[in-house]
């Protein structure tokens, strides 16, 4: 096994040399991918031959591990490398070592900090989405007719592609001149229903669209939690004379706390990736009011083709996310332990 491993490692380096240094190799780097695949297969077979039954068991896990290493771990590490370069893809100069200059540049980039502070607002807005979703989940959990119908309908927005949604709602429903939402707003007494002109209104509109897409997700998980809750608990509360609101505050909500925290954290993770709607509706405007980090980096690449700087921004963002989530997980763990 070791022999095959060493052999293929040498082969890999050989090919690297052939393409990089001697120019006598292949036209592109695709063979490296094939070599990696071959190496992975040989390693898997080697495991079985040498370790027998335990090797067979490892074979279940190995494909996913190899895949992940190739398409996640390696590109991320590669990203760290690119982040240290000054590399404009559209210029012919090619990459140039830039050291930590991208990092220092980042600290002076007001647009980037603006996008980051927007992300704080977007993240806080998850709480509002959560409140709406909880209400809907309670409604669906009540004794109603046509529950299946309502469930299907409430779930539909989640299925639609954000890009289509940005046209359907952002570009046509909220269209200034004759979108139905604008008409309704005029009817309700707002003379000038420009949804994307003032910073706050634009932010709110984008957030509303994102909420429209993502509330169903929170709702369906909360609903599953509600349905898993034993009925006796509710009835006991009723016997004790609690009214609807009291039994919600003292019984339902505390029981739902672990599910709530899980779904909130998942939702925050997805919120931090928000980009599609912003790119397609406002492109970050007006004046960066709706910008998310992802949409900003997308523009950095689209407008300036600056791969090095863009990656630097993205990696810095990733580090922030990891820090934030570690903190959130810690806090939530402590909090649930205290309550339960």
Partner 1 sequence: MSSQAEASFLKGVARLAMFTSASKPAHKHHKASRAKRILSRVLIYGALLFWAFVCLFPIYWTITTSFKSAVDVTQGHLIPWVDFQPDWKGWRSLGLSPDTIQGVSTARAEFGSRFANSIVTSVGASVLALILGSLAAYGLSRFRYKFGWMRNDAILFFFMSQLILPPVVLALPFLVLYKALSLLDTRFGLILLYTLTVLPIVIWIMRDQFNAIPIELDEAAFVDGLSTWGAFIRIVLPLAVPGMAAAFILSLVLCWNEYFFAALLTSTDAKTLPVMVASQTGSQGINWWSMAALSTAAIAPLVIVGIFLERYIVSGLTTGAGK
Q: Among residue numbers 107 through 146, which ones bind partner 1 (CB under 8 A)?
A: 135-136, 139-140, 142, 144
Tell me 160's DSSP state: S
C-beta neighbour count of 271 within 10 angstroms: 20
Residue 262 as a binder of partner 1 (CB under 8 A): the answer is: yes
Footprint (CB under 8 A) of partner 1, residues 31-60: 32-33, 53, 56-60
List the one residue from 5, 13, 155, 233 that touches partner 1 (CB under 8 A): 155
- Near partner 1 in 61-90, by CB under 8 A: 61, 63-65, 67-68, 71-72, 75-76, 78-79, 82, 89
Instruction: Single out the residue of 98, 121, 150, 248 in contact with partner 1 (rule: CB under 8 A).
Output: 150
> Interaction with partner 1 in 10-29: which residues (CB under 8 A)?
27-29
Q: How far is the CB of 122 from partner 1 (least distance, A)?
A: 13
Q: Which burial class, exposed, middle or buried, applies to 115 when counting CB atoms under 10 A from its CB (0-12, 13-18, 19+)?
A: buried
Closest contact distance (angstroms) between CB of 150 and partner 1 is: 5
CB of 163 to partner 1, least distance (A): 4
Give kind and range of the element (H or E) at residue 43: helix 30-51
The residue within the footprint of partner 1, chosen from 151, 198, 201, 234 (CB under 8 A), is 151
Which residue in the block uniquely carries the two structure tokens 């070592």? 97
Sign of CA dihedral 252, 257, 262, 266: positive
Span 219-258, contacts to partner 1 by CB under 8 A: 220-221, 223-225, 227-229
Name the 3-class secondary structure at 281.
helix
CB of 260 to partner 1, least distance (A): 10
Residues that contact partner 1, how many (by CB under 8 A): 95
- Cβ-Cβ contacts under 8 Å for 241 (sequence gap 6 or more): none
Q: The dihedral of CA 84, 86, 88, 89: what is its sign?
A: negative
Candidate residues 15, 45, 168, 194; the one interacting with partner 1 per rule CB under 8 A: 168
Of 8-16, 99-107, 110-118, 273-281, the segment contacting partner 1 by CB under 8 A is 273-281
Question: Is 165 or 251 the residue whose CB approaches partner 1 more closely?
Answer: 165
Which own/partner contact pairs does 310-314 have at CB distance under 8 Å and 24+ positions apart?
311/79, 311/82, 311/83, 312/83, 312/84, 312/102, 312/103, 312/105, 312/106, 313/102, 313/106, 313/109, 313/112, 314/79, 314/83
């Amino acid at each position: 096994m070791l022999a095959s491993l060493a052999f293929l490692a040498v082969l890999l380096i050989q090919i690297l040399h052939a393409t990089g240094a001697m120019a006598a190799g292949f036209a592109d780097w695709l063979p490296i991918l094939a070599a990696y695949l071959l190496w992975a297969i040989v390693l898997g077979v080697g495991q079985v031959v040498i370790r027998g039954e335990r090797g067979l068991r490892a074979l279940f896990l190995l494909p996913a591990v190899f895949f992940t290493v190739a398409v996640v771990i390696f590109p991320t590490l590669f990203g760290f490398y690119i982040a240290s370069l000054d590399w404009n893809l559209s210029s012919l100069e090619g990459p140039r070592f830039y050291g930590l200059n991208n990092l220092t540049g980042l600290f002076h980039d007001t647009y980037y900090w603006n996008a980051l502070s927007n992300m704080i607002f977007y993240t806080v807005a998850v709480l509002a989405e959560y409140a709406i979703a909880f209400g809907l989940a309670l409604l669906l959990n009540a004794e109603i007719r046509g529950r299946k119908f309502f469930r299907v309908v409430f779930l539909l927005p989640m299925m639609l592609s954000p890009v289509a949604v940005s046209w359907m709602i952002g570009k046509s429903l909220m269209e200034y001149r004759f979108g139905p939402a604008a008409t309704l707003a005029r009817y309700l007494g707002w003379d000038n229903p420009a949804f994307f002109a003032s910073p706050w209104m634009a932010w709110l509109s984008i957030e509303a669209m994102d909420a429209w897409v993502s509330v169903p997700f929170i709702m369906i998980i909360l609903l599953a939690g509600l349905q898993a809750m034993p009925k006796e608990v509710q009835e006991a509360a009723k016997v004790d004379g609690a009214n609807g609101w009291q039994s919600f505050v003292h019984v339902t909500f505390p029981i739902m706390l672990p599910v709530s925290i899980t779904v909130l954290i998942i939702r925050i993770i997805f919120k931090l990736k928000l980009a599609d709607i912003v790119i397609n509706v406002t492109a970050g405007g007006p004046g960066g009011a709706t910008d998310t980090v992802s949409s900003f980096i997308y523009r950095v690449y689209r407008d300036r083709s600056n791969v090095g700087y863009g990656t630097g921004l993205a990696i810095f963002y990733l580090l922030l996310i990891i820090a934030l989530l570690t903190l959130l997980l810690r806090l939530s763990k402590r909090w649930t332990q205290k309550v339960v």
